[in-house]
Structure 1
Amino acid sequence: MPSEDTLTESSAARSAVPTATATATATATATAPQAATATATAAGDGRRVRLRPGRAARLLRPLAGRAPAPPTPAAALHNVSAATAVLLTLVGIGTLIHEPVLIPPLAASAALVHSVPGLPLAQPRSLVAGHLLCAGLGYAALHLLGSSPWTAALAAGVSLAVMALARTPHSPAAATTVVVVLQSPDPARFLPLLGGSTVLLVLAGWAASRARRTAPRYPVYWW
């Protein structure tokens, strides 16, 4: 039979456990607000404000917007290198034949092909046919209304509608209409160079998409 002293010590030990647990819980509860307060200070007293990661993420989330994530450094380097290479090639061709082969609309087309190769705007049908179609509309407007900024603006708007109806949407091609109306290039030289340049952009996009194993395949469709 256990003695009376032994029973008393066991009862005291059992009662001490909940007391110690309650004390630790109360201490943690009292410390939490202090820690939260220590992470931030009043913004008006001139001291630095240190935000907790969760709060900082909530504040910065609206700035992120809904834009897609940026490409990896390797993908960005690949795309930029390929686009730059084909544009430099156009400059080299123009230097050899003493013609301005590289025009602003073609640079915009190269950006589409190498940045968003899956969009309908970047496909060969839209790129090649869109530029040639808009150039033809530019020459028609030039013949009917003459060269002026008003004519260029009107022709560019019409070219967007015609491309949509022809199922060749390519927004940079509307700028080709403006170039034709404002600069009046010789169609016998301009149109072949424009057609050849657009084909070169398509071939460069096709080659670049196969030079890197993880790159998205271009084109999605040819025609």
Structure 2
Amino acid sequence: MHAPVRRTPRPRTSEHSPSRLRAPARPTPAAAAHSVSGATAVLLALVGIGALVHEPVLIPSLAASAALVHSAPGLPLAQPRSVVGGHLLGALAGYAVLAAAGGSAWAAAVAGGLALAANTAARTPHAPGCASAVIVVLQAPAPARFLPLLLGAALLLVLTGYAVSRLRPGAPRYPAYWW
């Protein structure tokens, strides 16, 4: 008969352990300049498109998306599926709440939560999409005009992220996955 094998217990790690509470490393100046210039370029392009179509295309939620795509290209929140799907589902949640409850701050808060639920269920996590829901409720843009502009802007963010990530040697490639 063999003696039982004693196993050393594994150390317990949690998301709150000291090793996980450290901030990420500071980017190199070249990496920071690359991220900032890519995000700024796409935001300026959105302003230009807005001027051409006489509609505000640069909305706060898209600026947040540009920051994610260009400064954290490996995060699930920055992937094309999440950027495009997150904004569209967020806007649809906003329109649903707007139709049901009107355009109050209370309704906007509910729309933000509903957008989070929709994005979670669809596996398209994208916090700026929740902001798009809030914008829809508070601003009540015409859906036939707003949704195509939002889709086009989200696609432009993704395509710019793809192109810019290939300009600097050694930069992380975007996207980590498409869909």
Query: In the TM superposition, what is the alpha-carbon distance from 1:165 to its structure 2 partner?
Result: 1.0
Matches within 5 A, 1:1-223: 66-223=22-179
Bigger helix share: 1
Moved over 4 A (4+): none
Query: What displacement does 1:143 show?
Result: 0.5
Letter in 2 for 1:180: V
Whole-angstrom distance in 2 between the partners of 1:74 and 1:170: 27
Q: When the two structures are superposed, what TM-score results if normalisation uses the length of structure 1?
A: 0.70
CA-to-aligned-CA distance 1:131-155 (integer Å, 9 cap, x gap): 0011011111010111100000011
Aligned residues: 160
Whole-Å separation in 2 of the counterparts to 1:203 and 1:108 = 16
1:32-76, Cα deviation, whole Å (9 max, x unpaired): xxxxxxxxxxxxxxxxxxxxxxxxxxxxxxxxx711111100111
Work out the CA distance in 2 between the residues paired with 1:119 and 1:91: 26
Secondary structure of residue in 2 paired with 1:211? coil
Q: CA deviation at 1:97?
A: 1.1
Match for 1:161: what amino acid?
Answer: A
Shift of 1:85: 0.5
Deviation at 1:117, TM superposition (A): 0.3
Consecutive unaligned residues of structure 2, counting only runs of 5 or more, are: 1-20
Residue identity (%):
69
Q: TM-score, normalised by structure 2?
A: 0.88
Which structure has the bigger radius of gyration? 1
Give the distance between the partners of 1:144 and 1:158, measured in 2 at CA. 13
What's the CA shift string for 1:128-184, capped at 9, x where partnerless? 011001101111101011110000001111211111111000001100000000100
What amino acid does structure 2 have at the position aligned with 1:133? Answer: L
Paired residue type of 1:197: A
* Structure 1 gap segments, 5+ residues each: 1-64
Partner of 2:16: none
Separation in 2 of the partners of 1:99 and 1:155? 23
Q: Secondary structure at the match of 1:168?
A: coil
Q: Which has the higher contact order (CA 8 A, sep 6+)?
A: 2
Query: Cα deviations across residues 81-133 of structure 1 (Å, max 9, x unaligned)?
Result: 11100000000010111100000000000000001000000000000011001
